[in-house]
Amino acid sequence: MLVLTGAGISAESGVATFRGPDGLWEGHRVEDVATPEAYDRDPALVHAFYDARRAKLETVAPNPAHAALARLEREWSGEFLLVTQNVDDLHERAGSQKLIHMHGELASGWCLACDSRFTWVGAMGEGARCPSCAATGKVRPDIVWFGEMPYAMDRIEDALARCTLFASIGTSGAVYPAAGFVQTARYVGAHCVELNLEPSQGSIFFHETRLGRASEIIPAWVDEILAQFVQS
């Protein structure tokens, strides 16, 4: 089983989504805060955007949807992988372990001087010092920006090729390659289910779409497939 999550799973925890009412892209231009060119042009603005999002994480907690996916990982005896587009740490805090952050993490820093990556807590700012090489002013958020390659695509494509059940949760299906995962899963014969507040751009590719708030529909879905699995 491969589960893909997006910002919608964290919305009820108080973490802003990107598109839709009050979305992050309503208040910021992607070109100003989420591209390598933006970082080269105005690193202070980019750091301020991510420092604010990192600070917000200290005030939020996982919701029942995150907890349900952690339970699913524990009780599902087949192969399981959770791939998240989210850069928050709510899946980890809920107990998920078999997890890939394909768009990076707010809790990680990347030094452009020595290419090392490391845990980062609190504000980073322009003058951050690398804990590995001590260089200052070369530490950037370890976030995959538009135009950059997502992380672990080889592992994700390998898991997709073998999956028999693909679930997409809380994502608008607006950004590739994540938005194309359902087509690969469908091609290899997986049952594809979408669980979201509203139909996404990729709804037509799913065998099944369940609409509702993640904190309600995900625990119910997990109960259902675990019971179904026990029967089989």
Least separation in angstroms between residue 20's CB and ligand APR is 6
Instruction: Find the shortest distance in angstroms from Cβ 160 to ligand APR.
Output: 17
How do strand 99-101 and strand 104-111 relate by DSSP bridges? unpaired
Which CB atom, from 153 or from 175, has the smaller least distance to ligand APR? 175
User: What are residue 191's DSSP bridge partners?
Assistant: 165
Q: How far apart are CA 225 and CA 229, in angstroms?
A: 6
Q: Is 22 or 154 the residue whose CB approaches ligand APR more closely? A: 22
Does 163 show up as a binding residue in the annotation?
A: no
Mapped onto helix, strand or coil, the DSSP state of residue 74 is helix
The question of whether 91 is a catalytic residue gets the answer no
Question: 191-196 and 208-211: which strand pairing?
Answer: parallel
Closest CA to 191 of 211, 205, 207, 179: 207
The active-site residue out of 47, 66, 101, 103 is 103
User: Is there a binding annotation on residue 69?
Assistant: no
Q: Most distant CA pair in the chain: distance in Å?
A: 58
Q: What residue number has its CB nearest to ligand APR?
A: 8
Cα gap 16→134, rounded to integer Å = 33
Query: In whole angstroms, how close is the CB of 178 to ligand APR at the nearest point?
Result: 7
Burial label for 228, CB within 10 Å (0-12, 13-18, 19+), is exposed
Which is closer to ligand APR, CB of 6 or CB of 109?
Answer: 6
Q: Does 86 count as an annotated binding residue?
A: yes
Residue 197, annotated as binding a ligand: yes
19 is in an annotated binding site: yes
CB closer to ligand APR, 111 vs 143? 143
Residue that the structure tokens 């594809």 belong to: 192
Beta strands across the sheet bearing 139-143: 117-119, 104-111, 139-143
Residue of 124, 133, 129 whose CA lies nearest to 43: 124
CB of 231 to ligand APR, least distance (A): 27
- Residue numbers of the site for ligand APR (CB under 6 A)? 6-8, 11-12, 17-20, 23, 85, 103, 170-172, 174-175, 196-198, 200, 213-214
Q: Annotated catalytic sites, by residue?
A: 103
Please give the annotated binding residues for NAD(+), written as ranges. Answer: 6-25, 85-88, 170-172, 196-198, 214
Please give the annotated binding residues for substrate, written as ranges. Answer: 50, 53
